[in-house]
Amino acid sequence: MIDKRAVPNFIFFGGKGGTGKTTCAGSFALKMAREGKKTLVISTDPAHSLADAFGVTIGPEIAKIGENLWAVEVDAEREAKKYMKQIQDQMLDLVSAAIVEEIKKQLEIAYLSPGAEEGAIFDKFIEIMHLMGKPYDLMVFDTAPTGHTLRLLTLPEVLGIWIQHLIDRHEKARNLMKASVKYDEILKKRLEDDPIIRVLTERSKKFEFARGILTDPEACEFIFVLNAEKLPILETERAISLLEKFSIPVGGIVINKVIPQEAGEYFERRREVQEGYLKDIYQRFSSYRIVSLPLLEMDIQGMSQLNMVADLMGELIEE
Amino acid sequence: MGNRKMSEDEKKSFFDTFKEWFGAFSYGVFIDKRMSVVRKEAYDEYDNLMLLLFSDFLGIPNPISYYMLELLPYLAEELEPWERRIQNRKFIVAEKAAQYDFD
């Protein structure tokens, strides 16, 4: 019996597009579910393929898809719409309908702004993270291709600073205002109740929560999936250095689609090139756990085939 | 009989009236002027804050605009006047000068 290490509760699978992130995340989740961990697989890639990999339908709400196994595909558009609706409803309680009508235009603009999709995914992300332990023991994230995910994961740090700055600025304006209404009782009263600071602080707390988890090596781990080719290697190296800059722990590397010796003559030349890249990978990423998955005769699809790969993923949780 | 002495009550009320008038006088002469300068500064500060929150509406990209929509319910009423003010800023030097009472 091989010793197993304590696996963090949040595992992220990432890497360049087409390297097999979904397959790895899916089979890893299956493996952990088989070991008795209540596992939730979450796809944050706007182009979802989790359902295709498992061969079952998975929606934007968490659904049970197997023994100890749940899955969800985060739908950015749906989350953004829900968020807007909530704001509009809240606004109706506070201001007149005429103003709400006017503000609708602004909401539309924000909805189409570049950060909206990430914002929506990130919100859902935090909501899901709060479900840890109720009842899930493990969350496996099948993320979008590298660039997108890195932006998402570094969001709390960047926005946290921004929010703090906003709070400081607001404090300054408020203090000035307070000084100016020293002799004006009505305005003074109006300043007492300040929802802006409350909203900003709540936001900042959410970022803090996510950041706390993302930077804790005992809680979270990032696993890169790559192929033995030049571009994925370079991209992975860059991504790792960025994650390290933001102190997000990197746990391991999965080399997917490694051409096996018995592939035959046709692949001989390709395999020789691959040897070089493999050596390169083991050298560059020597400080991480490395697992290699062979190129199979067919593509991996459906629960039973994922199950076959699941055993190979076991190396990731060995001591 | 003889000179009516001011009763204690009357004295108090006279003093109070004096205080009230003096208060109003000094408020007008010293405090109001000074406070209006501070208040103008505070309004400017709030305008700048609005710019940081909703610069998106003016076409300036803002990394956090999506989350700042949460503040809209509380700031909705101030949004339209703010947009008008910020778009009509023609001469910032004059604006600043007015604040320091050079007229």
CB-based contact A243:A278 (threshold 8 Å):
no
Residue B102 has pLDDT above 60, yes or no: no
Residue B101 has pLDDT above 70, yes or no: no
| Tens of pLDDT, residues B13-63 | 777 888 888 777 776 666 666 777 777 777 788 888 888 888 877 778 777
Angle between helix axes B32-54 and B72-87 (nearest 10 degrees) is 100
Structural domains of chain A sorted by starting position, each given as residue range(s) with its CATH number in brackets:
10-77+118-317 (3.40.50.300), 86-117 (no CATH)
For testing contact with chain A, the best of B25, B39, B69 (most A CBs within 10 A): B69
Q: Which residue has the higher pLDDT, A273 or A311?
A: A273
User: For residue A99, which residues of chain B lie inside 8 Å, CB to CB?
Assistant: 76-77, 80
| Tens of pLDDT, residues A188-210 | 666 666 787 788 888 888 888 88
Contacts of A250 (CB under 8 A, 6+ apart): A221, A222, A223, A224, A240, A243, A244, A288
Residue B80 has pLDDT above 70, yes or no: yes
Q: How confident is the model at residue A1 (pLDDT cuts 50, 70, 90)?
A: very low
For residue A72, CA distances in Å to A51, A60, A232, A272 come to 9, 6, 27, 40
Vertex A127 angle, CA B72 and A84, to 5° = 30
DSSP string, A73-109: E--HHHHHHHHHHHHHHHHHHHS-HHHHHHHHHHHHH
Taking residues A252-276, what's their average pLDDT? 84
Q: How confident is the model at residue A71 (pLDDT cuts 50, 70, 90)?
A: very high
What b/e sequence results for A165-195 when a residue is b if at least 16 CB atoms lie within 10 Å of its CB, and e otherwise?
Answer: ebbebbebbbebbeebbeeeeeeeeeeeeee
pLDDT at position A40, please?
93
Taking residues B56-77, what's their average pLDDT? 81
| Tens of pLDDT, residues B26-36 | 766 666 667 77
Q: Which residue has the higher pLDDT, B2 or A124?
A: A124
Q: How confident is the model at residue A117 (pLDDT cuts 50, 70, 90)?
A: confident
For testing contact with chain A, the best of B72, B83, B84 (most A CBs within 10 A): B72
Question: φ, ψ for residue A49 (rounded to 5)?
Answer: -135, 10
CB-based contact A156:A211 (threshold 8 Å):
yes
Biggest alpha carbon distance in chain B? 84
CA distance B8 to chain A (A): 30
How far apart are alpha carbons A47 and A212 in whole angstroms? 28
Could you tell me the two tokens for A208?
């803090």
| Interface touch A87/B64, C-beta < 8 Å | no
Give A4's strand partners.
Answer: A318
Lowest mean pLDDT among A38-47, A68-77, A110-119: A110-119
Q: Which A positions 131-190 lie with beta carbon below 8 A of chain B?
A: 158-159, 162-163, 165-166, 169-170, 172-173, 176-177, 179-184
Cβ of residue B35 closer than 8 Å to a chain A Cβ: yes
Cβ of residue A114 closer than 8 Å to a chain B Cβ: yes
A142: part of which helix (H) or strand (E)? strand A138-142
| Tens of pLDDT, residues A9-64 | 999 998 888 888 888 888 889 888 888 889 999 998 877 888 888 888 888 889 89
Upper half-sphere CA count for residue A269 (Cβ side, 13 Å): 1
| Tens of pLDDT, residues A125-176 | 889 999 988 889 999 998 877 666 777 777 777 778 878 888 888 888 878 7
Contacts of A132 (CB under 8 A, 6+ apart): A9, A10, A139
Q: Which residue has the higher pLDDT, A296 or A22?
A: A22
Angle between helix axes A76-94 and A116-129 (nearest 10 degrees) is 90
Q: How confident is the model at residue A116 (pLDDT cuts 50, 70, 90)?
A: confident
